[in-house]
Amino acid sequence: MKLATLKDGTRDGRLVVVSRDLSRACGAGSVAPTLQRALDDWKRAAPPLEELSSRLNRGAAADAFPFDPHLAAAPLPRAYQFADGSGYRHHGELMKRAFDTDNKIGFPLHEPLMYQGCSDNLIGPCEDIVLAEEAWGIDFEGEIAVITDDVPMQVPPEEAGAAIRLVMLVNDVSLRNLIMPELAKGFGFVQSKSASSFSPVAVTPEELGDAWRGGTVQLPLRIHLNGTEFGRANAGIGATFTFPQFIAHVARTRRLSAGSIVGGGTVSNAEPGVGSSCIAERRAQERIAYGEPRTPFLKFGDRIRIEMLDAEGRSVFGAIDQSVAPWRKA
């Protein structure tokens, strides 16, 4: 099934079930008022949500209405955790070449690279990325993320996948000119990763069918910048670490609570021609090829679209489709 959160003026929005083709939705308030509340009690909430989904997909939901992604908040407008990994080896290698020119930062390949991201304020799919300065080097990062149920401490990777309840897309907005100073401090990204944006719907692994294999989504992530294709790297290719491994990494020293978001990192393939899921990668490649980066970071007004199509060309999660806008004092 596919779930979304509609903005209704409250902090957590209201939970709706969305049809497989993303055209229609119906309220899920009879099951849980918000997605977090459904996740808090998933065993109880999932069966009636599945029943609503089935009715909606049969065209038998009496209270169905058109689903408009512009009215969607992030599936979790605020979450108790966002732990983001860097799963794609090609991305890691390019980032190291681009940013870690002094070779000061350890990028181990034998264990996951992860950071704790901010989760108190997550952005809807069509909302602006509001930032104060273009000079920060504003970049997008196209990623897959999962939402977990409760995860016990010390869960082994082979059991961690069973805790994945939902899958969605993320734009992990990154401020490249603030990243290197924060990397050098070692304390992670507090200023250089501003609020992230999420796809209109979150989807159960079961709904993904064959595309959910090997602990990730085996489909290309289509990125467009101002209407021009920027990348179509396949999320199923080149992942050194998968979601079950990331979850187990976090759970080594603590348990995770239901509603934790775990990101899989900027999707990146080594294959030439598929492009990139962030500008920094393309700039790194340009530096290697031409001695200097040529593609600028985002400017106010730039528009970024992140979407995943299934084998039949249908949008799986709906599109993150948003512009960069200047912050103004309220």
Site residues for a copy of itself, window 283-312 (CB under 8 A)? none
Q: Around Cβ 217, how many Cβ atoms within 10 Å?
A: 28
Q: Torsions phi, psi of 226, nearest 5?
A: 50, 45
Q: How far apart are CA 42 and CA 325, in angstroms?
A: 37
Copy the structure tokens of residue 159: 């059991």
Q: Applying CB under 8 A, does 178 fall inside the site for a copy of itself?
A: yes
From candidates 190, 229, 301, 311, binder to a copy of itself by CB under 8 A: 190
Q: How far apart are CA 242 and CA 273, in angstroms?
A: 24
Stretch that binds a copy of itself, among 199-207, 248-256, 300-308, 314-322 (CB under 8 A): 248-256
Q: Applying CB under 8 A, does 11 fall inside the site for a copy of itself?
A: yes
Stretch that binds a copy of itself, among 53-61, 107-115, 213-221, 275-283 (CB under 8 A): 107-115
Angle between helices 89-99 and 279-290 (to 10 degrees): 60
Q: Applying CB under 8 A, does 250 fall inside the site for a copy of itself?
A: yes
Bridging pattern class, strands 320-326 and 129-131? parallel
Q: Applying CB under 8 A, does 260 fall inside the site for a copy of itself?
A: yes
> Pseudo-torsion of CA 134, 235, 181, 289, nearest 10°?
-80
From candidates 57, 177, 218, 257, binder to a copy of itself by CB under 8 A: 257
| DSSP bridge pairs for 85 | 114
Q: Applying CB under 8 A, does 131 fall inside the site for a copy of itself?
A: yes
Q: Applying CB under 8 A, does 96 fall inside the site for a copy of itself?
A: no
Give the footprint of a copy of itself on this chain (CB under 8 A).
11, 40, 78-81, 83, 86, 104-108, 113-121, 130-132, 136, 152-154, 175, 178, 181-192, 194-195, 249-250, 252-260, 327, 329-330
